[in-house]
């Protein structure tokens, strides 16, 4: 073999090795990014600090499981968002009597229904309790929620359910006019529809996809904790009993896969329920910061639901519009994150 042939052979082998190496690098580059395995100390620390969003009762919202003040008392009926019918009993009644007469369900159609009683000792309205005496009662149904405004059929069901309770306790109800209350419900529903801001960003992978564990590990560094549902993480509120400030979600099936590290995800959804979170939580500011940080660390881009890029200028406009929403909610005495707002926007 001549020296020229030997040189060409060596060159050919080198080219083949380079092509093979490049191909392997391309395959590795396009594989889903996986979480880094922490050392034993970091793993122990992670286990000690791990938090999870617990399952709460039907009237509660998502929250994280860690030390917080006692949950706020569930708000009572309020004429601002409820139809209220006063009930006058023939005589004061024990809580046991009222509890025995309570309707089996707390819904009227798609609306929340409640009965409260005036505690003779504390002179406060509350859900009837055993061992207490009550001098007056009231029944209420919510005027509107995200299912729409209270309608004539639901108002009639409210009357029937309240009258049934009154028949059991020998009480006399005083119902407002259906026409007026249904009209009030429609007006409130229109206001709520105009100010029900639900924001979402989509983080899309630019090149390599992400594994669920990689998303979870990266988001955890920004304060996100596991949610109740697979494929969901949340940033907990600073206020006990409040819903999360932010939520991050991705494909549930990928999160439940036998080997999540092999799942390839190309987008995650970050969302904010504006009316559910107090203004003081700086929810949009934190959403924006979190999205930008995740996009940088995970090599992703930020878009809206339609796939349109969201530059800084667009986010500035959104933030300004949100300030107007907050102001309007405040003026209506339905401040974002307040008990009444959380009931109305649910």
pLDDT of 259: 81
Give the residues of the chain that fall short of pLDDT 50.
8, 22, 25, 27-28, 39-50, 54-71
Question: 204 with 150, same domain?
Answer: no
Containing H/E element for 13? helix 3-30
What single string gives the DSSP state of each residue in 183-249? HHHHHHHHHHHHT--EEEEEEEESSS-B-HHHHHHHHHTTT-EE-SSTTEEEEPPSSTTPPPSEEEE
pTM: 0.79
Which letter does DSSP use for residue 33 in this model?
A: B
CB-CB neighbours of 185 under 10 Å: 23
Rounded Cα gap, residues 167 and 134, in angstroms: 17
* CATH number for position 107: 3.30.1400.10
List the structure tokens of 153.
Answer: 């059929």
Whether residue 340 sits in one domain with residue 205: yes
Q: Are residues 178 and 224 in the same domain?
A: no
- Report the pLDDT value the prediction gives residue 203, as an integer from 0 to 100: 96
If asked whether residues 224 and 175 sit together in one domain, one would say no
Residue burial 262-299, b: 16+ Cβ < 10 Å; e: rest: ebbbbbbbbebbbbbbbbebebbebbbebbbebbeebe
- Tell me, yes or no, whether 174 and 265 share the same domain: no
Tell me which of 193, 213, 230 is where a domain ends.
193
- 105 and 244 in a single domain? The answer is no
Number of structural domains in the chain: 2
CA nearest 64: which of 215, 217, 222, 225?
A: 225
Q: Domain range for residue 119? A: 82-193
In order of 34, 49, 200, 210, the CA distances from 269 in angstroms are 19, 25, 7, 13
Instruction: Give residue-wise pLDDT tens across range 36-87.
Output: 665 443 443 344 344 555 444 434 333 333 333 444 555 689 999 999 999 9
Largest Cα span, the chain: 119
Distances (CA, A) of 267 to 115, 204, 205, 207, 224: 46, 4, 6, 11, 17
Same domain, 103 and 140: yes
Residues 212 and 140 in one domain: no
Of the CA atoms within 13 Å of residue 223, those in its CB half-sphere come to: 14
The verdict on residue 265 lying in a domain is yes
Element containing residue 148 per DSSP (H, E): strand 148-149
* Residue 262, pLDDT score: 76
Is residue 292 located within the same domain as residue 323? Answer: yes
Both 203 and 332 in one domain: the answer is yes
* pLDDT at residue number 23: 55
Residue 89 pLDDT? 97
Closest of 112, 165, 157 to residue 138, by C-alpha? 165
Residues 295 and 279 placed together within one structural domain of the fold: yes
d(Cα 268, Cα 222) in Å, to the nearest integer? 15
Q: Does a structural domain hold residue 21?
A: no
Q: Are residues 138 and 221 in the same domain?
A: no
């Amino acid at each position: 073999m001549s020296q020229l042939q030997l040189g060409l052979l060596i060159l050919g082998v080198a080219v083949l090795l380079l092509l093979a190496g490049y191909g392997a690098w391309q395959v590795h580059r396009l594989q889903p990014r996986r979480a880094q395995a922490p050392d034993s100390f970091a793993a122990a620390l992670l286990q000690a600090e791990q938090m999870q969003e617990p399952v709460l009762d039907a009237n509660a919202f998502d929250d994280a499981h860690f030390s917080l003040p006692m949950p706020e008392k569930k708000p009572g009926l309020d004429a601002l968002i409820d139809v209220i019918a006063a009930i006058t009993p023939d005589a004061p009644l024990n809580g046991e009597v009222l509890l025995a007469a309570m309707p089996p369900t707390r819904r009227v159609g798609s609306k929340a229904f409640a009965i409260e009683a005036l505690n003779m000792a504390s002179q406060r309205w509350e859900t009837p309790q055993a061992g207490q005496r009550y001098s007056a009662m009231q029944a209420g149904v919510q005027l509107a929620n995200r299912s729409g405004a209270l309608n004539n059929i639901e108002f009639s069901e409210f009357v029937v359910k309240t009258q049934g309770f009154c028949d059991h306790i020998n009480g006399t109800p005083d119902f407002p006019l259906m026409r007026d209350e249904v009209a009030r419900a429609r007006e409130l529903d229109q206001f709520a529809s105009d100010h029900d801001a639900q924001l979402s960003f989509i983080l899309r992978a630019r090149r390599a996809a992400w594994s669920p564990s990689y998303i979870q590990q990266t988001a955890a560094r920004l304060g996100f904790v596991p949610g109740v549902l697979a494929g969901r993480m949340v940033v907990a509120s600073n206020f006990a009993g409040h819903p999360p400030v932010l939520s991050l979600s991705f494909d549930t099936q990928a999160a439940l896969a036998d080997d999540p590290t092999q799942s390839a995800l190309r987008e995650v959804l970050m969302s904010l329920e504006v009316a559910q979170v107090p203004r003081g939580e700086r929810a949009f500011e934190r959403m924006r910061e979190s999205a930008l940080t995740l996009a940088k660390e995970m090599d992703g881009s930020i878009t809206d639901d339609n796939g349109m890029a969201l530059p800084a200028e667009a986010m500035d406009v959104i933030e300004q519009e949100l300030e107007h929403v907050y102001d309007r909610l405040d003026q209506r005495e339905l401040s974002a994150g307040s008990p009444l707002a959380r009931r109305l926007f649910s």
